[in-house]
A = this chain, B = another copy of it.
Amino acid sequence: MANSIGKNIQISSFGESHGPMVGVVIDGFPSGFAIDEAQIQAELKRRKPGQSSVSTSRQEADEFSIVSGVFEGKTTGSPIAILIPNTNQAPKDYDALKDLYRPGHADFTYQKKYGHRDHRGGGRSSARITAAWVAAGALCKQYLAQTAHITIQAVVAQIGHIEVDNIFELDWQTAENNSVRCPHPAMALAMQTAIETTAAEGDSLGGQIACRIQNCPVGLGEPVFDKLNADLAKAIFSINAVKGLSFGSGFEGAKRKGSQNNDSGAGNSNHDGGITGGISNGKDICLQVAFKPTSSIALPQTMLQQNGETITHQIQGRHDPCVVPRAVPIVEAMCAITLMDHLLLNLKYKF
């Protein structure tokens, strides 16, 4: 089914960018867990538009309400439903797009698939709906931390041509101190400047996010088709604009010899990125995610029209010149949802 993910905890997403709200239903969350609403709000704040000079100027309060599954501050075992109203819509921005297919967006594919679409801001295909995933991921993060001390952090490793080397060897504690969420302060500044300059040109930038999951116990992940890396991959590729993913030494490791790339049982190397044979091996789970540059740019582009002809058009609206910094909490959320799914699954393994 299109809009649910997870087997042991299931996240069902709904809502569109220009409907009244986006939301999520979380099914399978254990009962009796005292939730921290402030932490959910803090995660939403990390994702929300209008945070800084590198994001869209669109403002959304992104205030959520929990309408099911929590009683007197604790989960009840019932499905947890979270609603996040849409408050700052400018649907008029999209009137010109009714019969146009924006390059890089799902306009054309939705129209062909469904024969009918909400053209206002992409509707269902908008990254707006990831707000609800972040709320769900925040709950999962709390659970992972309290029950298993598992922590998840993502940072920006690359914006355009500015790329941090050996990103996993830096200290990531200061990453949230700058608007691009890069743990290398000097490169963070360069990234911020690059985004601002590119934005001023009406253009956009892509980049990479690095994510590290710490304290994951040995044994999460299924051996064949629900490998931990496979389920993380499915979750990560669900995020808008993701075009690449690697674990551990990834594409670089493909160039190596076995004697160079094997993690000896004794040493500190982590070429496997914390997952061996689809199962967590107790080391940090390390992954990198490539995002394409934002498709919505403020330059004239050739576009396909509904009638099959092309036209040169300049898209209006308030768009992110680079989505990568705002995608950091989304990557964390999708990892958290996947980890929690496997943590719950793992409870029933050994006789």
Contacts and interface: CB of A to CB of B under 8 A. Distances in A.
Interface of A: 1-5, 7-8, 10-16, 19-23, 25, 27-28, 30-33, 65, 67-69, 71, 74-81, 101, 103-106, 108-110, 112-118, 122-125, 129, 143, 147, 158, 160-161, 163, 198, 203-208, 218-219, 221-227, 229-238, 240, 242-251, 253-267, 271-273, 276-282, 290-297, 299, 301-304, 310, 344-351
B31 A206 contact: no
B32 A350 contact: yes
A246 B277 contact: no
Nearest to A32: B351
A277 B117 CA distance: 13
* Interface hub of A69, A78, A291 (most chain B Cβ within 10 A): A78
A68 B23 contact: yes
Copies of the chain in the assembly: 4
B233 A243 contact: no
A257 B223 contact: no
Contacts of A1: 7, 10, 27-28, 222, 226
A19 B68 contact: yes
Nearest to A5: B225
11 contacts: A2-B226, A3-B27, A75-B116, A75-B351, A103-B264, A104-B263, A109-B221, A113-B279, A233-B237, A233-B245, A244-B247
A117 B229 contact: no
A303 B265 contact: yes
Given A224-B129, A276-B108, A344 B348 contact: yes
A82 to B, nearest CB: 10
Contacts of A347: 347-348
B224 A3 contact: yes
A238 B259 contact: no
Contacts of A346: 113
A266 B14 CA distance: 32
A276 B113 contact: no
B238 A227 contact: yes
Nearest to A77: B114
Given A233-B245, A243-B251, 13 more contacts: A19-B67, A31-B113, A31-B115, A32-B351, A77-B349, A108-B265, A232-B237, A243-B250, A253-B290, A259-B301, A265-B304, A345-B348, A347-B347
